[in-house]
């Protein structure tokens, strides 16, 4: 039982490159979330998915796209990376009782 | 969404009880309160949640007054390993996928 798994854990990109952060959960969560956390700051919600096939914008969606491929997987895509997107990205799944379970994070550096 | 306000930071010493208060003046009738703990380089970890009065588990207690406009996370006899950031969230209580936003959290430093 891995919980919430994020890949890759580390990534370095050049400005303008694209990439996809993968998130998979084996806890049968209906809802999934993507957050970013800049150094010394709190978490900011990028996108979330209430259920398979649905996605909604969070607080800071610009520059990102998401796909809820199935119940298990929720991916985050950066189409044209910018230095301002250097951050740690966390994916989370939410139990029906409300608790969020987070992955270990993906550290992204954009040069 | 109910906005939350917490102290930015707190200091304590090992063995003391620590109380972190969160204000959520515009909490709605069906909303409940959830607290998370985050260590450096890790994702937040669920600690406790409650709707009213008092909830206790093996880690902490959560006190919610009758008007529910604030809540207090109580950590008994803290140790150095409790040094972390603590976040208060107000969650809409319909079990649907909701927009869950974190505030800045409270940075707790436990000193020897």
Structure tokens at A87: 């951050």
Q: Can you tell me whether residue A84 is helix, strand or coil?
A: helix
Structure tokens at A4: 């919430």
Å between B42 CA and nearest CA of chain A? 6
Q: For residue A32, give the chain B residue with the closest CA.
A: B97
Report d(CA A28, CA A3) in Å as an integer. 10
Residue B59, pLDDT > 70, answer yes
What is the CA A23 to chain-centroid distance, rounded?
7
State the average pLDDT for chain B.
91
Residue B104, pLDDT > 90, answer no
Q: For residue A6, give the chain B residue with the closest CA.
A: B43
Q: For residue A50, give the chain B residue with the closest CA.
A: B97
pLDDT in the model for residue B16:
97
* CB-CB contact of B28 with B2 (8 Å): yes
Å between B16 CA and nearest CA of chain A? 26
Structure tokens at B54: 């008092």
pLDDT digits (tens, 9 = 90+) for A58-109: 999 999 999 998 999 999 999 999 999 999 999 999 987 788 999 999 999 9
From chain B, pick out residues whose CB is under 8 angstroms from the CB of A103: 43
First to last CA, chain A: 36
* CB-CB contact of B33 with B89 (8 Å): yes
CA distances from B10 to B6, B22, B86 (A): 10, 13, 10
Candidates B43, B95, B97; nearest CB to A90: B43
Residue B1, pLDDT > 70, answer no
pLDDT digits (tens, 9 = 90+) for A19-48: 999 999 998 888 999 999 998 889 999 999
pLDDT in the model for residue A32:
94
Interface residue A26 vs chain B (CB under 8 A) = no
**B101/A102 CB distance under 8 A:** no
The H or E element that residue A37 is part of is: strand A31-37
pLDDT in the model for residue A15:
97
Residue A1, pLDDT > 60, answer no
**B101/A45 CB distance under 8 A:** yes
* CB-CB contact of B110 with B78 (8 Å): yes
């Amino acid at each position: 039982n891995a919980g919430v798994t994020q890949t890759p854990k580390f990534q370095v990109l050049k400005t303008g490159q694209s990439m996809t952060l993968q998130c998979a959960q084996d806890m049968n969560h209906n809802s999934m979330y993507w957050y970013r956390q800049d150094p010394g700051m709190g978490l900011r919600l990028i996108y979330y998915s209430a259920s398979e096939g649905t996605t909604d914008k969070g607080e800071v969606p610009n520059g990102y796209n998401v796909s809820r491929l199935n119940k298990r997987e929720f991916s985050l895509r950066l189409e044209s990376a910018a230095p301002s997107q250097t951050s740690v990205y966390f994916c989370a799944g939410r139990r029906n009782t409300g608790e969020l379970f987070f992955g270990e994070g993906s550290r992204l550096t954009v040069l | 969404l109910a906005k939350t306000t917490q102290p930015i930071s707190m200091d304590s010493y090992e063995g003391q009880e620590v109380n972190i208060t969160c204000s959520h003046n515009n909490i709605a009738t069906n909303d409940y309160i959830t607290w998370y703990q985050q260590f450096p380089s890790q994702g937040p970890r669920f600690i406790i949640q409650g709707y009213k009065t008092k909830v206790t588990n093996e880690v902490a207690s959560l006190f919610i007054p009758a008007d529910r406009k604030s809540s207090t996370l109580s950590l008994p006899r803290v140790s150095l390993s409790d040094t972390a950031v603590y976040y208060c969230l107000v969650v809409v209580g319909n079990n649907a996928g909701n927009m869950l936003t974190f505030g800045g959290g409270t940075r707790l430093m436990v000193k020897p």
